[in-house]
Amino acid sequence: MKLFQKLLVAGTALGLLTPIAAQATEAVNLEAMDSYRRRFSKAKTFDSNTFANQISEDVATLNGRVDGIEARQNNFEASAFSSTTTMDGKAVFAIGAVDGGDTIGGTEALSSAYVYKMNLNTSFTGDDNLYVRLSAGEWGSNFTKKPGNYHIEAKNTGDNKLIVDKLWYTFPLGDNATVWVGPNIENYYMMAATPSIYKPGVLKAFKLGGNGAVFGASTDGGAGLKYEFGDSGFAMSTNYVGKGSKADAGILTDGDKSKIDTMIAFTKPQYHASVTYSKQHGGWDAHEYYSTELIHGNNGTTVTSLGSDTNADAFAIRGYWRPENSGTATPEISVGYDLISFDNHSLNVSEGSGYFVGLGWQDMIQAEDRIGIAVGQPVKATKLTTGTLSEVDPFLWEAYYSFKPNDSITVTPAIWGGTDVESSTTEDVFGAMLTTVFKF
């Protein structure tokens, strides 16, 4: 190492040692330090109670904390659903107008409507289900005249009230049977199989392949049983709904306005065929979603109703087929044909019939979209017991395109129309509507 370098190192070392030396010259109280050492270095004495006392204190603290957590949990659960209850729902906005709507009891004004529905499902055993639907809605006469413009989502609850719309309980009976029972249910919820895959874009008339002679329904007390024959595809069901369940008349009495439906169905993933027989008693008249005024008891401007002694027997033949793959030019096809015969009809109608054809295409432009076209003849009178038959020749149609901007929203622009949809007028109707459904 050169001399110059040695001098630098020596200077640096002296600089480091100088503060230490200065501190060493300060007085240090060694006796106080030794006293501090002796006081805190003594071994602490433990006995058999030391840990027991500490554990007791810790357990008491933990118990207090657990009690507090349980109290808060109980308060939370008191305002929450059962762990076996699920909820889903939807809000529907609709806006549209009907040319000729003033001739069937509405107006031609552009108007809007809404409905809000919540579905609650609760299981008590894992195999059963208690179903409750809560609804609130306001729909004007522009969208609730049967059959010409009754919207598939229409629900009037009055003054925006939230009501219990549906309520029933279902449970299995053995391995192949299912039972329904409830104070607010309709026949078609208790069928052996769904008879149509056509999804209406606007008109409730086209629900279930024609919502008329057999499947026209009313929400009342009822019960049903479905039996499936293993994996064969065969199933059968029978169910009852009656207005007497909520009235003085009682269930299955002479005064009970009721309907009993029995279905035999064969269903596979690509096709379905079924026959449903309906026994209607006491003036049952819920045919008007898909029938003429004459069928459900009105004759033009003369408003009557089916009497309590009016009974009927009706048959619904349904079938559908769908292609193996969606997104092609080949549509899924649903068809239906209804027959009905009356005893003691108020306007002497003895027989009536109607038909339906629906076509659907899925995933054509984008995933999960749907194109639908339906045509049909609402059930009309074809024979009287006495007198000369004077009946309209009704016809309804609709066309729509439904698409999903996201997983929870569906938008459906649609047009529809009809001829002779009311006995009191021969003017055609034509409507256009935009319906938006928000699911949650």
Question: pLDDT digits over 250-264, tens only?
Answer: 888 888 999 999 999
How remote is the C-alpha of 180 from its chain's centroid? 17
Mean of per-residue pLDDT scores for the chain = 86
CB-based burial, 299-320: b 16+ in 10 Å, e otherwise: beeeeeebeeebbbebbbbbbb
pLDDT at 419 over 50: yes
> 261 with 276: CB under 8 angstroms?
yes
pLDDT range class, residue 26, cuts 50, 70, 90: very low
**Phi, psi dihedral angles at 159 (to 5 degrees):** 55, 35
Give residue-wise pLDDT tens across range 281-298.
999 999 989 999 899 877
Q: Give CA–CA dist 426/107, Å, rounded.
A: 16
Looking only at the bridges linking them, the beta strands covering 409-419 and 395-406 are: antiparallel
CB within 8 Å of 216: residues ≥ 6 apart:
286, 287, 288, 289, 290, 291
Mean pLDDT, residues 299-311: 77
**pLDDT at residue 75 in the model:** 53
Q: What's the pLDDT at 110?
A: 95
**Residue 66 pLDDT class (50, 70, 90 cuts):** low
Whether pLDDT at 351 is above 90:
yes
Domains of the chain as residue ranges with CATH? 3-73 (no CATH), 85-439 (2.40.160.10)
Q: How high is the pLDDT of residue 73?
A: 57
Whether residue 177 is predicted with pLDDT greater than 80 in this model: the reply is yes
Residue 269: which pLDDT band, with cuts at 50, 70 and 90? very high
- For the chain, the C-alpha Rg in angstroms (whole number) is 38
Q: 128-161 pLDDT, tens per residue?
A: 999 999 999 999 888 998 899 999 999 999 888 9
Burial classification of residue 352, based on how many CB atoms lie within 10 Å of its CB (0-12 exposed, 13-18 middle, 19 or more buried) = buried
Tell me what the mean pLDDT of segment 171-195 comes to. Answer: 97
